[in-house]
Amino acid sequence: MSTVPVPYRVLSSRPETPDCVSLTLAADGATLPAFAPGQFAMVYAFGVGEVPISVSVVGDGTVTFTVRAVGAVSAALCKLAPGETLGLRGPFGSGWNLDAADGSDVLVVAGGLGLAPLRPAVHRLLGRAARLAVLVGTRTPADLLFPGELAGWREQCRVEVTVDRPTPQWRGSVGVVTALLDRVAVGAETATALVCGPEVMMRHTADALHARGVPPGRVQLSLERNMRCGTGHCGHCQLGPLLLCRDGPVVDCAVSRQLLSVREL
């Protein structure tokens, strides 16, 4: 029953940045169906509450969620130690449409924590896409997620990182992530873009991709709204005609571009 959390045990809790933790989980009994990249779970911290979090790694018998401590529930999740249990419901929503990306040029554009939902898509795309470029924007060098893994990806695809606020030691790019688009060569007409980050970043990225000739139907955004149920019954995740827990969170720009341009929709 998709309304009742299933107990999962924390196998490892790995600090990623000063406020982000990756929790790798295994079922403590009954197992949920496999998560697809881009899908999310409702993650329950005992007695505190539940938040929607996209899957960060789809493992063999395990699943990993990368959580930023921004509220009571996420802070409680970040404090969980190996061996402790939490509740999980899901998988919910539409994942990244990776079939559309098969054999084509793929641009993965992440802002901040937005890299986490894109991570399992990259895992699937390495070796599958014709040309793959991963563009990451983050606030400061310390906020960069998965730096070790990004270094590994660099051997198989193009990886570019930019920060808003550099430290004296930072030797990389500074500025918004859309500025990185000009550095990568893709066949715009046939390229697929997967984008996740703050809404304002996604809006600008979608506009920049549009300006470079990538058709809106080939730009996939992972959108976010308040979610309470995940099952399409609570009404919170509406974005105009969409219920994002059901019709999203991944929605292509042909559908979402106009909706995101309406204030307070």
Which stretches of the chain bind other proteins, using CB under 8 A?
1-7, 28, 44, 46-50, 70-71, 83-87, 224-226, 228-229, 231-236, 238, 240-243, 246, 262-265
Complex with other proteins: residue 97 or 231, whichever CB lies closer: 231
Listing DSSP states for 96-162 in one string gives: ---GGGTTS-EEEEEEGGGHHHHHHHHHHHTTTSSSEEEEEEESSGGG-S-HHHHHHHHTTSEEEEE
Complex with other proteins: residue 85 or 97, whichever CB lies closer: 85
**Cβ of residue 68: shortest distance to other proteins, in angstroms?**
9
**Cβ of residue 36: shortest distance to other proteins, in angstroms?**
15
**Cβ of residue 127: shortest distance to other proteins, in angstroms?**
32
- Rounded to a whole number of angstroms, the CA Rg of the chain reads 18
Amino acid at 185: A
**Cβ of residue 86: shortest distance to other proteins, in angstroms?**
7
What CA–CA distances, in Å, run from 81 to 9, 45, 59?
10, 12, 19
Complex with other proteins: residue 171 or 263, whichever CB lies closer: 263
How many Å apart are CA 77 and CA 139, to the nearest integer? 23
Which pair of tokens denotes residue 139? Answer: 């606030």
Complex with other proteins: residue 51 or 150, whichever CB lies closer: 51
How many Å apart are CA 145 and CA 14, to the nearest integer? 11
**Cβ of residue 216: shortest distance to other proteins, in angstroms?**
18
Complex with other proteins: residue 70 or 211, whichever CB lies closer: 70
> CB neighbours (10 Å) of residue 147?
13
